[in-house]
Amino acid sequence: MHNEVRVRFAPSPTGYLHVGGLRTALYDYLFAKQQKGKFILRIEDTDQSRYVEGAVENLINSLKTMGIDFDEGPGIDTEYGPYFQSQRLNIYKKYAEELIQKGFAYYCFATKEELDEMREKQMAQKQHPKYDGRYRNYPMEKALERIANGEEHVIRLKMPQEGVFTFKDIIRGQVDIDSSLVDDQVIMKSDGFPTYHLAVVVDDHLMKISHVIRGEEWISSTPKHIFMYQCFGWETPQWVHLPLILNPDRSKLSKRQGDVAVEDYLAKGYLPEALINFITLLGWHPVADEEIFTIDKTIKEFSFERVNKAGAVFDREKLDWMNGWYIRNSPLSEIAEACRKYFTSNDIDISDNEKYLRVIEVAREYISRLDQIIEHSEMYYKLPDLSEENRAILQSENAQKLLNFLIEQISKLDLSDDLVQFVKGCIKESGLKGKDFYHPVRLALYGNTSGPDIPKLINIFGKEGTVNRLQNWLES
């Protein structure tokens, strides 16, 4: 058995970090930290046609932003590297040749046209479409002759055609897959690059990976991987297949249904802590019925035994609720810093830092995403446009009297006084109650009849700012 827990996250550099990938990386990280093991980042870049420039840097930055640090990987080299599969081609070539020499793999010369025709026939006959093994027992000397003549070929794994593959999955228990459903997998492509299946087994063995943690879509490929471990005489790792992440309609989460990249969520003003908390609960459930978890608390409680087999629904409303909680409960200075870019891009002058902090403190009570902050803050920096109906409220005789009265009272105010008591005193002295007092004052200061308490508005604008706002709505 593997002595040390060693787990890996092995994304392809084909774009941005998907929320499904983030969950895999997160569960790898949580498990490694809890078991005092190692978390490895490996880049599976053998499919050069899908490589996207800058994707590796984006993946690493996204993980860093989310607080997920790897122990080994690009830039943190050890004796197990290199961590880019494209830099390990000679290793895969050696092991592919070993499989051929042992009789567990063979050269295949079937063209794309032949393979397409084969699958069409099988589907027409309502058969499970798979490679028909036409080169499975092809004489080796003939194969080598065709290769010497420069003929294009791949290497395929010679999978057992009878029996059942049985393996234990930590989440699912015993899994049985009929050998007849498993294809003779291509393990080395015609361009000399390995497929995922060979590379993943070789790398996981050489990097001493103890637990393979991946999405449930890889369950059907596990027999191919187990067979290769057996062919090489290697110890198999423990298998952990995570449930799918689903849309609310139970379809698989995909770009067509909305945002799936971590970067998209960060750009919209979701906090890394909220995203991590939310994604932790996409499949895993704690012992107690709690929703808010720090990553340190999760590390203490985390176990794969508490991960569900069933798909986990990505509930955007729950994410918004959770993000709103973090916005309201995180240190004010952190939220204020995270919001600055929205004010800058809207040309709002926030050089008065004390006022800015007071604005954020009040406005964050109304938002579930940081990108909503301007909608609840701009009225503190520019006079709001009022509807004709609201202008009429402010121009009524009672409202005009009230504004004059408040200007007089605020002019005598000491801001160190209790503003709640000050407002209560004004209500009493004015003789106005309920909406007759609150609506005109809120309209004059905030631009809406509902909103923050008046003491909070006076605190934001200060004495002079409050008087100026009230005077602005006085009829000359």
| Rounded CA separation 28/37 (Å) | 10
Residue 54 and residue 14 in one domain: yes
Q: 274-327, pLDDT tens digit by residue?
A: 999 999 999 998 888 889 988 888 999 999 999 999 899 999 999 999 999 999
Residue 306 and residue 252 in one domain: yes
Pairing mode, if any, of strands 211-215 and 238-242?
parallel
Asked if residue 174 belongs to a domain, the reply is no
| Rounded CA separation 356/377 (Å) | 9
The amino acid at 10: A
Cβ(371)–Cβ(421) below 8 Å: no
Residue 367 and residue 397 in one domain: no
- Does 476 score more than 50 pLDDT? no
Residue 288 and residue 300 in one domain: yes
Asked if residue 151 belongs to a domain, the reply is no
Asked if residue 284 belongs to a domain, the reply is yes
Asked if residue 442 belongs to a domain, the reply is yes
Q: 348-404, pLDDT tens digit by residue?
A: 999 999 999 999 999 999 999 999 999 999 999 998 888 889 898 889 889 999 999
| Rounded CA separation 382/355 (Å) | 14
Residue 374 and residue 441 in one domain: no
Q: Which of 294, 309, 329 is the last residue of a domain?
A: 329
Asked if residue 184 belongs to a domain, the reply is no
Q: 166-180, pLDDT tens digit by residue?
A: 999 999 999 999 988
CA-based radius of gyration for the chain: 32
Q: How many angstroms from the chain centroid is the CA of residue 111? A: 39
Active site residue 255: yes
Long-range CB pairs of 78-84 (<8 Å, 24+ gap) are 80/40, 80/206, 80/207, 80/208, 83/40, 83/41, 83/42, 83/43, 84/42, 84/43, 84/45
Stretch 16-32: mean pLDDT: 94
Q: Which residue has the tokens 């940081």?
A: 370
| Rounded CA separation 312/21 (Å) | 14
Cβ(162)–Cβ(180) below 8 Å: yes
Pairing mode, if any, of strands 105-108 and 211-215?
unpaired
Q: Which residue range forms the structural domain that includes residue 405?
A: 383-472
Asked if residue 210 belongs to a domain, the reply is no
**CATH code for the domain in which residue 286 is found:** 3.40.50.620
Q: 152-161, pLDDT tens digit by residue?
A: 999 999 999 8
Give the pTM: 0.90
DSSP E strand boundaries for 334-436: none
| Rounded CA separation 193/170 (Å) | 32
| Rounded CA separation 117/111 (Å) | 10
- Does 52 score more than 80 pLDDT? no
Mapping DSSP to helix (H, G, I), strand (E, B) and coil, where does residue 213 land?
strand
Residue 55 and residue 16 in one domain: yes
Residue 400 and residue 466 in one domain: yes
Name the catalytic one among 94, 255, 433, 435. 255
Cβ(297)–Cβ(303) below 8 Å: no
Residue 283 and residue 293 in one domain: yes
**CATH code for the domain in which residue 420 is found:** 1.10.10.350
Annotate 320-350 with DSSP letters as a single string: HHHHHHHHHHS-HHHHHHHHHHHHHHTT---
Residue 182's pLDDT band, with cuts at 50, 70 and 90, is confident
Residue 372 and residue 398 in one domain: no
Residue 23 and residue 46 in one domain: yes
Mean pLDDT for the chain? 91
Asked if residue 146 belongs to a domain, the reply is no
Asked if residue 406 belongs to a domain, the reply is yes
Residue 416 and residue 391 in one domain: yes
Residue 393 and residue 466 in one domain: yes
Number of structural domains the chain divides into: 3
